[in-house]
Structure 1
Amino acid sequence: MAAQDRLTADTLTRAELIAPVPLRPLPLLRVDGLSVCYGPHEVVTNVGFELGRGESLALIGESGSGKSTIARAVLRLLPSGGHATGRVAFDGQEVLGISERGFRPLRGRAIGFVPQDPANSLNPVRTIGAQAQEAAALLDEADKAFRKQLILETFAEVGLDNPRRVYDSYPHQLSGGMLQRVLIGLAILPRPALLVADEPTSALDVTIQKRILDLLTRLQHDLKISLLLITHDLAIAAERANALVVLKDGVIHEAGRTASVFSSPESAYARKLRADVPALNPDRYAASRDRGFHAVKTGGGDTPKIDVGAVTKTFIVDGKTLTAVDDVSFIVPAGTTHALVGESGSGKTTAVRLLLGLEQPDTGTISVAGEQITGRSPEALRAAWRHLQLVYQNPFTSLDPTWTIERLVREPLDRFRVGTSKERVARVREALADVGLGGHLLSRKPGTLSGGQRQRVAIARALVLKPDVIVLDEPTSALDVSVQADIVEVLLSLQANLGLTYVFLSHDLALVRQLAHTVSVMHRGRIVEHGTVAEIFDNPQQPYTRSLLASIPSGIAGAAHLPQARLRLMATAD
């Protein structure tokens, strides 16, 4: 090579070396080495991630994983005793170490928050409008009439059909879906750059859940809002987020692009979360679900365990007649699970109250194990109730927090005067063992147990009388998918071993497909479709049924078109 050529080559190399490198856009939210302690107990350890402008990121994991704690640390809303260390930068500004007075202008204005439970997030004795005016005060707009107009426009923007009626209503006058839209509207009213949504759909029906998630996605794109989504459902996260952070016990187990984490999870915990999503594993329990049914059929007997015939029930509300259940009929063979599905207000809860004898139908008949339930007094129903038990929806509210586990499970035995005191203690231990709980919990109280343990206690309480039929009223809706999977396994094992018959109320069709043998789809008090699980899911005939099925989160398909968020994994574990 000639000297001149070497000189030219060296010069070009130096030019390349000193040429300015394009800067990567500054992330809107950057978390580095975040740890959170309550006293000496560390609940979040060395967590880090980035969220770009206009992008979305989901923190996923079961209860106790630290995802809500991280969100509250970002919002500077940790409860008393909580202490966060590390670095949280919002729009380039370090916010973890600044004073509350310095952070207050950001909270609500630049960083919005949508809490989990709309029923507990709004003041029940004040109108929606009065509470909305407090949010509108963040706009620094003195004219109250102008603020009201902005509120009404925002309510319309989030899909509330009659904003003025909503403005004048009290929270109890609106449905759960409407209340959640109100909270989203209040959060976006100041046009924040970041929206933190903490389990925003966990208490909602599957169709309303889809509408709320669609709304959040639309607002994110239209308003260029970044979304930090907290959820325990991997399928929802995969549909709605550009990137995922999987947490367990306060530590990141996996993080990265949605497509890779969802389709090929590397950590054992992420794989378990994926396996526990009912929509992704519809046949997971097929063998155990059918084992008990076949055992009962082999034993003979064709008389239905439950026979509901042409039942109708009306109520008078504000002087108007409301038909809650309209000519409903279904039968449930012994040893099987029959599901009643539909949105809130479809009539399924009223149908079950009629089955339990808590309400009497206007017309029609109901029999359980050949005994008529209709037309009998509460005293005459006592014998039937011994063989017909109920597991309530929420284990956090259905168990008396002041009672021990032993007293809670033993109470039905005491009320029916079953056996001696020694025999009752043995029955309590047996019932707890049936649901996978040890005798060491007998002296504990519900507040010391996890959600899954509490629901197992509720099932043991229903089992202790050795009933033939158990009504399950949304028994897993308040639980994480992993805990839900454990409860489903318990229920199917008990059905196989004891020949139990279940009536299962749910709006979660994916879970119904895993658990039930037959399904009745209810809409506005009527059964619009009925059949086996295979018939309903593989070949639905009614538009309403098809809309329910279409609302089931399916995972990555919903997020495939979204740009991928930047994300740095700061701590990993497996």
Structure 2
Amino acid sequence: MASHDRLTTNTLTRAELVAPVPLRPIPLLRVNGLSVSYGPNEVVTNAEFELGRGESLALIGESGSGKSTIARAVLRLLPSSGHATGRVAFDGQEVLGISERGFRPLRGRAIGFVPQDPAHALNPVRTIGAQAHEAAALLDEPDRAVRKRLILETFAEVGLDNARRVYDSYPHQLSGGMLQRVLIGLAILPRPTLLVADEPTSALDVTIQKRILDLLTRLQHDLKISLLLITHDLAIAAERANALVVLKDGIIQEAGRTASVFAAPASAYARKLRADVPALNPDRYAALRDTGIRALKTGAGATPKIKVSAVTKTFTVDGKTLTAVDDLSFTVPAGTTHALVGESGSGKTTAVRLLLGLEQPDTGTISVADEQITGRSPDELRSVWRHLQLVYQNPFTSLDPTWTVEHLVREPLDRFGIGTRKERDERVREALADVGLGEHLLSRKPQALSGGQRQRVAIARSLVLKPDVIVLDEPTSALDVSVQADIVEVLLSLQVNLGLTYVFVSHDLALVRQLAHTVSVIQRGRIVEHGAVTEIFDNPRQPYTRSLLASIPSGVAGAAHLPHPRLRQLATAD
């Protein structure tokens, strides 16, 4: 009987024998065994992944991991020194081996591309409309008036309110967020089936970043576009993609559905990326920040290191008076970090220039270590600048590319005539050691350094004079999250060891939560909210502050991963 039962169980009916087996749908993009070399150096090794129709996949990893190289290989945009092997199939057609002439009808029409930096992607001396007609040429529409109508409709579709003004504008007349929307509009104009977006939000404010990502998500669903998203931020990738591919040094470390990779990363590298995302680890540097918190408590009532009182600054542009900073007031106790946060155009940069004495306010006063900044000439401020230093946003543009690291770090000592040559050499090495750089880098030039190393050199340059106050102007916005985490740890360690006072300018509230002790939220030149970071983050009172907090990427689990109960409540309410 038992034998009969087994026979009955394992025997298929005639209908079952002839029933067709469901076919697995062919993915829109399939990459098999893709390797890419530049000369003798292999930068991508045996990459494999698939992207389904209407789905999204994120390639994530640090700079140099091979993300953009894979995208360029898919788009057939590798430089002449690049050589790709393996298979790349788009919509069932092998495209890696076909001629450039054979691939050209796909690029732009079927495969759209959104580059990272609109400032470099758009021609500054041609109007947006003139450049849009180049994309419109892919529509095979001979009537220019019809092409213009389609361009304007697409600009409106991507959220550009005054499409005609944008059409007539030059790139410098539009904001970064508007330029990024222009690039997205040009990419979707021919209605591609695949959109490749290479770090489309890396240079944008956190609120604009959210709007751009929301736009890409909406277009993906409305137009049934597949999205290949390239990013270094695991939180953004987890929030926006159906699947993730984690790359390091050109090798895939991990791949799979987003929920599983994000919730329980199997590789050590993916776990490190997750740990480096500020929004997911707000208290990572709590022990280092405690020194500043104690300084806040013990220094109550003491004279602040920085005092900004009722400062206003206006500019005249095209005959109109614009108020950049309006009645700005804040203080910074010694040994603490005060953050100035807000979107582009909020007045942060003007506040920094006023603090450094590079601009003079119309009204109000500023003092640093009891020395007045306002009303003094550059010669009179020379003694102040020795103790008040600045770290710029982009070290690649702020460091002279023709100078060596040794020259860059030593220059402030030379200008102030400090010490003998031997003493200067010792202080240069000491400053490099403080930021974790070795003497073997002394003879290198900026282009021979990584992004993180360049920023460490910029910090060492500001440290070499042994200042009391350092102004940090978006010092990590151009860096990967992993490099950013290293820089934050360096800054906090230096603050603990040297008693430094920081003014930290940023649009990223997740990073502010990790680094700063107090914060001023600036909107249109005015402070709308001010206080301890924990207080502002846990109980934001102003809608503008809440909008900034709500823009922090939270990952696939949504509000559950937001760093504070109040944020989870706000996200749930939305």
TM-score range, shorter chain: over 0.9
**CA deviation after TM superposition for structure 1 residue 31, in Å:** 0.3
Task: Tell me the residue number matched to 1:82.
Answer: 82
**CA deviation after TM superposition for structure 1 residue 557, in Å:** 3.2
Q: Is the 8 A contact 1:292 1:497 kept in 2?
A: no
**CA deviation after TM superposition for structure 1 residue 16, in Å:** 3.1
CA RMSD of aligned residues (A): 1.9
Q: Find the residue that maps to 2:84 and give its secondary structure.
A: strand
Q: Find the residue that maps to 1:397 and give its secondary structure.
A: helix
Query: How do residues 154-173 of structure 1 correspond to structure 2 at under 5 angstroms?
Result: 154-173=154-173
CA deviations on 1:425-471 (whole Å, 9 max, x unpaired) are 11100000000001111001111110000000000000000000000
Q: Find the residue that maps to 2:261 and give its secondary structure.
A: helix
Q: Distance in 2 between matches of 1:527 and 1:57?
A: 40
What are structure 2's unaligned runs of at least 5 residues?
A: 561-574
Q: Distance in 2 between matches of 1:95 and 1:320?
A: 55
CA deviations on 1:210-238 (whole Å, 9 max, x unpaired) are 00000000000000000000000000001
Q: Find the residue that maps to 1:35 and give its secondary structure.
A: strand
**CA deviation after TM superposition for structure 1 residue 301, in Å:** 8.2
The aligned amino acid for 2:414 is D
Q: Distance in 1 between matches of 2:10 and 2:305?
A: 90
Query: Scaled by the length of structure 2, what TM-score is found?
Result: 0.95
Q: Is the 8 A contact 1:293 1:335 kept in 2?
A: no
**CA deviation after TM superposition for structure 1 residue 14, in Å:** 6.1
The aligned amino acid for 1:143 is D
Change in Cα spacing, 1:206 to 1:122, as seen in structure 2 (3 Å) is same
Task: Tell me the residue number matched to 1:344.
Answer: 344
Q: Find the residue that maps to 1:186 and give its secondary structure.
A: helix
CA deviations on 1:5-35 (whole Å, 9 max, x unpaired) are 9999897356534431011111000000000
Query: How do residues 97-136 of structure 1 correspond to structure 2 at under 5 angstroms?
Result: 97-136=97-136
Task: Tell me the residue number matched to 2:139.
Answer: 139
Query: How do residues 494-533 of structure 1 correspond to structure 2 at under 5 angstroms?
Result: 494-533=494-533
Change in Cα spacing, 1:10 to 1:204, as seen in structure 2 (3 Å) is closer
The aligned amino acid for 2:23 is L
Q: Distance in 2 between matches of 1:7 and 1:325?
A: 85
Q: Distance in 1 between matches of 2:79 and 2:377?
A: 50
Q: Find the residue that maps to 2:53 and give its secondary structure.
A: coil
**More relative contact order, 1 or 2 (CA 8 Å, 6+ apart):** 1
Q: Is the 8 A contact 1:118 1:180 kept in 2?
A: yes
**CA deviation after TM superposition for structure 1 residue 398, in Å:** 1.0
Query: How do residues 305-316 of structure 1 correspond to structure 2 at under 5 angstroms?
Result: 305-316=305-316
The answer to whether 1:242 aligns with 2:242 is yes
Q: Distance in 2 between matches of 1:205 and 1:10?
A: 62
Aligned-residue identity in percent: 89
Q: Distance in 2 between matches of 1:51 and 1:11?
A: 38
Q: Find the residue that maps to 1:428 and give its secondary structure.
A: helix
Q: Is the 8 A contact 1:240 1:558 kept in 2?
A: no
The aligned amino acid for 1:164 is R
Q: Distance in 1 between matches of 2:6 and 2:508?
A: 72
Task: Tell me the residue number matched to 2:566.
Answer: none
Q: Distance in 1 between matches of 2:353 and 2:124?
A: 27
Q: Distance in 1 between matches of 2:476 and 2:389?
A: 17
Task: Tell me the residue number matched to 1:200.
Answer: 200
Task: Tell me the residue number matched to 2:30.
Answer: 30
Task: Tell me the residue number matched to 1:364.
Answer: 364
Q: Distance in 2 between matches of 1:300 and 1:547?
A: 31
Task: Tell me the residue number matched to 2:565.
Answer: none
Change in Cα spacing, 1:543 to 1:502, as seen in structure 2 (3 Å) is same
Change in Cα spacing, 1:9 to 1:328, as seen in structure 2 (3 Å) is closer
Q: Distance in 2 between matches of 1:512 and 1:552?
A: 11
Q: Find the residue that maps to 1:12 and give its secondary structure.
A: coil
Q: Find the residue that maps to 2:48 and give its secondary structure.
A: strand
Query: How do residues 30-69 of structure 1 correspond to structure 2 at under 5 angstroms?
Result: 30-69=30-69
Q: Distance in 2 between matches of 1:89 and 1:491?
A: 46
Q: Is the 8 A contact 1:365 1:374 kept in 2?
A: yes
Q: Is the 8 A contact 2:292 2:517 kept in 1?
A: no
Q: Find the residue that maps to 2:395 and give its secondary structure.
A: coil
Q: Distance in 1 between matches of 2:147 and 2:58?
A: 32
The answer to whether 1:213 aligns with 2:213 is yes
Q: Distance in 2 between matches of 1:5 and 1:484?
A: 65
Q: How many residues align?
A: 559
Q: Is the 8 A contact 1:472 1:503 kept in 2?
A: yes
Q: Find the residue that maps to 2:329 and give its secondary structure.
A: strand
CA deviations on 1:367-411 (whole Å, 9 max, x unpaired) are 000000000000000000000000000111111111000000000
Change in Cα spacing, 1:372 to 1:86, as seen in structure 2 (3 Å) is same
Q: Is the 8 A contact 1:314 1:362 kept in 2?
A: yes
Task: Tell me the residue number matched to 2:550.
Answer: 550
Change in Cα spacing, 1:22 to 1:559, as seen in structure 2 (3 Å) is farther
Change in Cα spacing, 1:293 to 1:433, as seen in structure 2 (3 Å) is farther
Q: Distance in 2 between matches of 1:297 and 1:517?
A: 11
Q: Is the 8 A contact 1:395 1:458 kept in 2?
A: yes
Task: Tell me the residue number matched to 2:418.
Answer: 418
Query: How do residues 378-393 of structure 1 correspond to structure 2 at under 5 angstroms?
Result: 378-393=378-393
Q: Distance in 2 between matches of 1:558 and 1:93?
A: 37
Q: Is the 8 A contact 2:488 2:515 kept in 1?
A: yes
The aligned amino acid for 2:181 is R
Q: Find the residue that maps to 1:159 and give its secondary structure.
A: coil
CA deviations on 1:525-550 (whole Å, 9 max, x unpaired) are 00000010011100001000000000
**CA deviation after TM superposition for structure 1 residue 294, in Å:** 3.0
Q: Distance in 2 between matches of 1:541 and 1:297?
A: 24
